Amino acid sequence: MNIYAVLMAGGVGTRFWPRSRSRNPKQVLNIVDHDTMIQATYKRLNGLIDKQHLLIVTNYDQKEIIQDQLPDLEEDNFILEPMGRNTAPCIGLAAIQIVVQDPDGIMVVLPADHLVKNVSEFQQVVKLAARFVAENDGLVTLGIQPTEPATGYGYIQRSDKVKDLDGHSIYRVKTFAEKPNYETAVRFLESGDFYWNSGMFIWKASTILQEINEKLPEIYEGLMEIKDHLGKPDYFDKVADVYRRIRSISIDYGVMQSAENVYVIPTDMGWSDVGSWETVYEISPKDKNKNAAFCKELVVVDSAKSYIYSPDKVVALVGVENLIIVDTGDALLICKRSRAQDVREVVEQLKKKGLDEYL
């Protein structure tokens, strides 16, 4: 049983502006720790995945900086997309490369920019999920045991238990739910059968291609065109041609929500998708005033509960609270913590104003 890891690393992370830019996106930033997000994800796979079985799906703009951060990787470890088309084409592009090398190869699909504190639990649950799909040809997703009625995550509802394996239970999936409002999230939490959707998947490469064929036939057709050109001089031209024609759609919406052979393994691995500056505030160490500061010096006068990033400056706060302040030298973000999800709208405004140098 060969396990391949596919790291999806092509996003921009618009909610992390101004630190995250198109050529310096969230996954290559040290937002949470000394390691960048993709370095931490890579280290998490140590001992679990052979280096030659690691594939990073990214784009031409980001490849160089990722190579700089992961210098022991080779050209064969990278799959390049000419443009973003969401997760279904991204996963399909990796799947065709795996299935050509190994028709029975098992894929572990991971976002490159998530936080996992309990690495041993992560590795254990991935191993047992791989064993399960090797025998059952199912689609497995990892469900995170919720600790609060969070409205920033999608949810997975479990159905019947299939089996217990190595101290974990495997359930059939009843439904996927989009990000709920607070009242709905409370009901999800109280029901006890909903989990946060981690966006981590385990399946055979051949199985996910079969599902894409059934549910997204036009994307499958394009993938088969690309497959026919693997290893040929015109491969990149063919990928660009196909990507111009296929639609952008997520694997959740395009496949998982309508597939029948979907399973969830609940796990508590200290996970976070680190989806906004508010999340970074929540997981960061704080002082006695509940400020999380990353600056030369912080001076506080009647101020509390704020996140401050300005590594080269002395920052003074007077009479404010619940703010996000991020200073990158050429740009400054100030927003209410409760509006952290709306930072992406700043990026849209910059695009409309033609201020591309700040994107």
Q: Mean pLDDT for the chain?
A: 96
- Quote the pTM value: 0.94
Query: Model confidence at 117, in pLDDT bands (50, 70, 90)?
Result: very high
Question: What is the reported pLDDT for 152?
Answer: 87
Phi-psi label, residue 247: left if phi above 0, alpha if psi -120 to 50, beta otherwise: beta
Q: Strand 194-204 to strand 155-165: parallel, antiparallel, or no bridges (unpaired)? A: antiparallel
Instruction: Read off the pLDDT of each residue in 184-212 and give the average, rounded to a whole number.
Output: 96
CA 245 to chain centroid: 25
In CATH terms, 3-272 corresponds, of 3.40.50.300, 3.40.50.150, 3.90.550.10, 1.10.8.80, to 3.90.550.10
pLDDT at 269 exceeding the cut of 90 = yes
pLDDT digits (tens, 9 = 90+) for 224-259: 999 999 999 999 999 999 999 999 999 999 999 999
pLDDT digits (tens, 9 = 90+) for 297-334: 999 999 999 999 999 999 999 999 999 999 999 999 99
Q: How large a percentage of the chain has pLDDT more than 90?
A: 94
SS3 276: coil
The domain segmentation of the chain, as residue ranges, is 3-272, 277-358
Q: Which of 259, 8, 276, 265 is nearest to 144 (CA)?
A: 265
pLDDT at 11 exceeding the cut of 90 = no
Q: Strand 307-318 to strand 292-301: parallel, antiparallel, or no bridges (unpaired)? A: parallel
H-helix segments, 48-168: 60-69, 87-101, 119-136
pLDDT digits (tens, 9 = 90+) for 148-190: 999 889 999 999 999 998 899 999 999 999 899 999 999 999 9
Question: What is the reported pLDDT for 74?
Answer: 95
pLDDT digits (tens, 9 = 90+) for 130-159: 999 999 989 999 999 999 999 889 999 999
Distance CA 240, CA 247 (A): 13
Query: Model confidence at 1, in pLDDT bands (50, 70, 90)?
Result: confident
Residue 3 forms beta bridges with which residues? 106
Question: What is the reported pLDDT for 111?
Answer: 97
Residue 155 forms beta bridges with which residues? 177, 196
Strand order of the sheet with strand 292-301? 292-301, 307-318, 323-327, 332-336
Q: How far is CA 155 from CA 196, 298, 341, in A?
A: 5, 38, 18
Question: What is the reported pLDDT for 134?
Answer: 95
Instruction: Read off the pLDDT of each residue in 53-71 and give the average, rounded to a whole number.
Output: 95
Q: Which residues contact 65 (CB under 8 A, 6 or more apart)?
A: 23, 24, 28
